[in-house]
Amino acid sequence: MDYQMMFQQENEIIKERFELSMERIGQMASEHTVQEPYRDYFARTASFISMMGEYLRFIESGDQKAASVEVLREWNQKLYQDILPDHYEESYANPAYAVSRLGEGYGQLLSYLYKEIRGDIVFVHEWRLTDLTILNETLIEIYNMFEEEILEVSRIKEVIYWFVSDYTDHTVTFRVREGLDPTLSFAADIIRDNDLRDLRYLYYFGEYISDSELKTAEFLNSLPEETVRLMADTYTEGYRKGFEVMGRDLKKKGSVQIRYELGFERMVKYAMENFEKLGLQVILCRAAIWTVNTNAGRKNGYYSTSPNRQYVYDHRYDDALYLNKAFKDRKAAVLKVAYETYKEQAAAFAGPALMETFGKEGFEPINKPEVNRLDAKQEKLSTEMSNETSRILNQYVPGDETSFTIIAFPVPEIGDDFEKIFEETIAINTLDYEKYKGIQQAIIDVLDEADYVEVTGKGNNKTHLKVALHPLKDRNKETKFENCVADVNIPLGEVFTSPRLTGTEGTLAVSTVYITDFQFKDLVMTFENGMIKDYSCSNFEDQEEGKALIKQVILKNQDTLPMGEFAIGTNTTAYAMARKFGILDKLPILIVEKMGPHFAVGDTCYSWAEDSPVYNPNGKEIIARDNEVSILRKEDVSKAYFSCHTDITIPYAELDKIEAVTASGDRVLIIDDGRFVLKGTEELNIPLAGL
């Protein structure tokens, strides 16, 4: 079915409201019924909306599909230029500028509204007239109020609150549907129906298209078919293996969601074919647009290079404008009804297949006093909302019935060696499964005898950690660590466990680590009984700003988090590649976590599925699936989970020793001076020779 036709009935119902709202907004730019400085805000916002009306006609007439790549690029720049770095300082999308022009309170609220209105770019491409109309009508409502008098901030805030709350039935419900329903095929149709050698197709998505997307697509088009098929096959086979390894029945499922960055469509097209051969319909939904559906630091869907990461950072906590207990309860109720409405699609959902990219410059944000922030009460409500969302999701999409896979590739921003790095990344993603399985089992055999593991840093790295391990009852049938090869996490190369929190203590330090869009420098965390006690970084001169960034990005605004995972990475080939090209600080945690010991703060790797047995290739059950926090789910599930899991890795160059220590005090070295010394692991040192 034509994607546009799916919304025909809904659009016909609302068409008159949409046209009336567009007519009224078209009059705003020339009117002088609102006093300055507010008139300028409404005039400029109305001009943007009118431009979106023009672009809608451009699509409806068929001119978009007939347009040259130059015309499409020009339109794309026009749509996004207001938030590009060269224009952002004088854009109402910038809360700092909005406050400087409109005043405290007014600026934050109206900047938020304009940010939501910028979602029109997507709504026009996807024929979503309802979304366009409700935004238009809200702007008109506030404009009419300003025509009568200069409003109190509280009155604008009230309009915004009820706008967000009342329309959750639409915004939240549609978000649930687009994450589960393969018939919403907007992006899938673009990939299936277009000649991917003609890069005009990239502009049909409605996302910002930078040189990165264009160069990536050009590069993939230049690769031999067998290379791109190998990339896709590795990705989809990892997904299939994940179900096999975890003992879950993929045949019971009917859909998979692909999440990726634009530019990789040639690979995605082959992956779609592979998934369909596995009996899975492909879901391609974009990263959330409405603030009510976004999650700071996460992109659940397809997306493109951000036109301005500072813009995204400035608006990360816009929900502070409306988040209270009543709203939390309202959203949870809507979520519950939405999942009940789409419970058949939820039952068929097998889980996500993710593709990450790496190579972009690290982002160093500016903390602006004008941006919205959650207060302590709202931080607690936000955490409760995340946990409640996870509970509802797990009810309809049980974690012990689904799986995932994740893989990563470089993008051209990584530098002149992009093509060589890409080639070596493919090689890393396809390393010998059987060889690593045996080497990693040798490490696990020693760890199964240990009471705890001691990890120490080298040189300027002050890491000194004691990681307590769970005891085994039957060594013939049980094991403490999972032997992770190339299935859900690609590339292969780690053994991991959920530490026992009691007795886990010490300092974790790392010179640099890339987490989502942020590059943390000189990150230090201290642990006491497995919980974070203190933390710092050197990203800012003001240490408090650094602590605030860690709390936002890593702790997800929690006061503390448990150590949910301890792992030893074995992918020395990846590490050698990173050193060879000088890109260690640009690799994603997905690869970096295989390049030394790593520690995850937050939930365990088994959250919401702790009671489902998991087995290693040798048949032994991995018993370390819980810790002292997650086990609280049996008493009060709200105390058991944090809805986050963030990995922090110590690279081999900063590592001195990893020792397994038995209850009697015997010590067995696994790594010494950054090299593997345990018998059976010596082959891992070959890629490290000469480094």
CB 600 within 8 A of CB 649: no
Q: Is residue 486's pLDDT more than 70?
A: no
pLDDT in tens, 48-78: 999 999 999 999 999 999 999 999 999 999 9
Note if the pTM is more than 0.85: yes
CB 518 within 8 A of CB 363: yes
pLDDT in tens, 615-660: 998 999 999 999 999 999 999 988 999 989 999 999 999 999 999 9
pLDDT in tens, 80-94: 999 999 999 999 999
pLDDT score at 229: 98
Give the pLDDT mean for 173-178. 98
270/685 Cα distance (integer angstroms): 35
Distance of CA 157 to the CA centre of its chain: 29
Q: Is residue 513's pLDDT more than 80?
A: yes
Strand 518-528 with 531-536, pairing: antiparallel
Token representation of residue 69:
């790549």
pLDDT score at 362: 80
CB 565 within 8 A of CB 600: yes
DSSP letter, residue 463 = -
Name residue 82's amino acid. D
Token representation of residue 396:
């309809």
479/487 Cα distance (integer angstroms): 19
pLDDT in tens, 129-138: 999 999 999 9
pLDDT score at 383: 87
CB 521 within 8 A of CB 539: yes
DSSP β-bridge partners for residue 303: 261
Q: 488-497, 522-531, 658-667: which range is least confident on average? A: 488-497
DSSP letter, residue 73 = H
pLDDT score at 491: 93
Residue predicted with more confidence, 565 or 587:
565
CA distances from 243 to 6, 29, 236, 259, 398 (A): 33, 57, 11, 18, 14
CA distances from 332 to 113, 175, 300, 640 (A): 23, 13, 19, 19
When pLDDT is cut at 50, 70 and 90, the band that residue 150 belongs to is confident
Q: Is residue 1's pLDDT more than 70?
A: no
By C-alpha distance, which of 214, 212, 192, 193 is closest to 202?
214
When pLDDT is cut at 50, 70 and 90, the band that residue 298 belongs to is confident
pLDDT in tens, 575-595: 999 999 999 888 888 999 999
Mean pLDDT of the chain: 95
pLDDT in tens, 654-682: 999 999 999 999 999 999 999 999 999 99
User: What angle (nearest 5°) sits at the alpha carbon of residue 364, between those of residues 323 and 48?
Assistant: 60
